Structures are given as structure tokens and as C-alpha cells.
Chain A
């Protein structure tokens, strides 16, 4: 498994648990889970580019 699929799976599992445990209704759980997933993956992409630019 390469790094990016590992990150995606990590984000998926963590977001699922965060969504279910931090909100009360199914609709809000789903929305919060999607929000957490987007933040996980988005921050990974931004930080990866930052590290790439710093290392050049």
C-alpha cells in the first residue's frame, strides 16, 4: 500500500467515528463525517505541497 491510499483509509475510518460520535442526528452525522474527511485529505494535500516546496 502506498502512502496516499493509507491516508485516504485513515481519513475514512476516523471521519466515520467522528461523525457518529460527535453529532446526534443521522443527517448531521453524515455532514460532519464528510466535513472531517475533506479536512483530513485537504490538509494532507496542502502540507505535502508545502513540504515539497520547502525541500526543493
Chain B
């Protein structure tokens, strides 16, 4: 009963989409805002690790869209939030994939973005009280 009241009280404070947006922009930030330090740290380490390995493997950061698969890849890349924008601005990542490992790197970057979206939605569910 008391837990339910606390949950409802927490759900009624502040901008409800803040953990979702923060979690999308910076991996783990949504959970940190909700004081879920352990979960946030593990999520941030996993997503940053996957994105960093993708760059280290000379994966491609999508910038131009030629077909539907490129569009899906770009959508996945955009899931990385600020990581994608900063990496594009810094000129990191390969312009064109030339090796098999580079192709794996591209997949790592896309999947890191998709995992980041899942983590951000999880933070939103915690914020709304749908999950504990």
C-alpha cells in the first residue's frame, strides 16, 4: 500500500518524459536520474562498450541514405543519441566499410543504438511506475 502510494507520488512529479529523453541522449542517464545507480552503470558500460568497439573495428556511421536498409541503419545509429552526433562531428568511424571486421563494427554501432532505445524506454517505464 505504502509502496503504491510512493509510486504514484513519484509518477506525479516533474516532466514525465525526462528520463526517456535523457536516457536516449546519454546511455544510462535516465536510470541515473531515477537513482538506479547500479542498473544505469551496467547499461551505460554495455552501450558505450558496444559503440566504442564498433568504432574501434572501423564501423561505419551512416550519414547518407541510398535504400531502405541504409534508412534502417541510420535509425539504429540515431538511437545512440549524443554519441552519434559527437562521433559524426569528430569525424570518427569509417566513411566506407572495407573489411569484414568493419562490417561487424557497423552492426555493433547500430545494435548499440537499438539497445540504448530499449534502455531509455525502460527508464520511462520506471518513471511512470509501470516497472519497479
State whether B39 touches A20 (Cβ < 8 A).
yes
In the complex, what residues of A have CB within 8 A of residue B42's CB? 16, 20
- Rounded to whole Å, the gap between the CB of A9 and the closest CB of chain B is 6
Report A-chain residues with C-beta under 8 Å of the C-beta of B108: 6, 10
Q: Number of B residues whose C-beta is below 8 Å from A?
A: 23
Interface set of B (CB-CB < 8 Å, partner A): 38-39, 42-43, 45-47, 49-50, 53, 57, 101, 104, 108, 111-112, 115, 118-119, 121-122, 131-132
Within 8 A of B (CB), among A1-43: 1, 3, 6, 9-10, 12-14, 16-18, 20-21, 24, 26
Interface of chain A, main secondary structure: helix
Which of A1, A3, A10, A20 sits near B111, CB closer than 8 Å? A10
A interface residue numbers (CB < 8 A to B)? 1, 3, 6, 9-10, 12-14, 16-18, 20-21, 24, 26
Known A-B contacts A1-B57, A10-B50, A10-B108; A20 and B43 likewise in contact (beta carbons under 8 Å): yes
Closest 10 CB pairs of A and B: A21-B122, A13-B46, A16-B46, A17-B115, A13-B50, A20-B39, A21-B118, A17-B46, A6-B104, A24-B132
